[in-house]
Amino acid sequence: MINEQITAPQVRLIGENGEQLGILSRDEALAIAEERGYDLVLMSGGTNPPVCKILDYGKFKYDALKKDKEIKKAQKIIETKEVRLSMTIEEHDIAYRVASATKFLKEGNKVKVTLRMKGREQAYVKKAIEVVKEFCARLSDIGSIDKEPELLGRNIFVVVSPKKAK
């Protein structure tokens, strides 16, 4: 809130250079801010009395927007890519999927390894978990398993995260 939007009868006032001006009535604080050519901005409304600062509100908003943009630009968005396996997967297919999972991990993305069991395959859960663990073992040099393989319905899931570069 700025200027007349502030409803508290008394405020703790901070000057434009950060100096404490003491506890004043709202009207006095508004008069001082207007006299100096700035706005009265509520910084902390939860305290008693609320803390207000004298500053140029337009510049304050611009700087805050600029700072948010910089933080957003520096932020790395991690995506989760999925690699699907089956119980009867052949060696060449495993090698191909390991290569694509390796590419995803090198890009900094997480890889979700999914194995769907169909029909009678559901009776061989241990074999399915072995297939998934073998696949993850091939990725162990550039990725690490977040948690052990998890059985959900007829699917087995594992999430592999890229190892931190040293």
Write the pLDDT tens digit of every residue in 95-140. Answer: 999 999 999 988 888 999 999 888 888 788 888 888 888 888 898 8
Q: pLDDT value at position 75?
A: 78
- Whole-number Å distance between alpha carbons of 11 and 72: 34
| Residue recorded with tokens 């997967």 | 89
Question: pLDDT digits over 23-53, tens only?
Answer: 888 888 888 888 888 888 888 877 888 888 8
Burial track 103-127 (b if 16+ CB lie within 10 A, e otherwise): ebbeeebbbbbebebeeebeeeeee
Give, in words, the CATH class of 80-162. alpha beta
| Boundaries of every domain in the chain | 3-71, 80-162
DSSP string, 41-95: EEEESSSSSPEEEEE-HHHHHHHHHHHHHHHHHHPPPPPEEEEEE-TT--HHHHH
Average pLDDT over residues 141-150: 86
Residue 166 has pLDDT above 70, yes or no: no
Q: Give the pLDDT mean for 59-71.
A: 91
3-71 and 80-162: same fold? no
Which superfamily, per CATH, for 3-71?
A: Translation initiation factor 3 (IF-3), N-terminal domain (3.10.20.80)
% of the chain with per-residue pLDDT over 70: 99
What pLDDT was estimated at residue 21? 83
Residue 73 has pLDDT above 90, yes or no: no
For the cut 90, the answer to whether the pLDDT of residue 65 exceeds it is yes
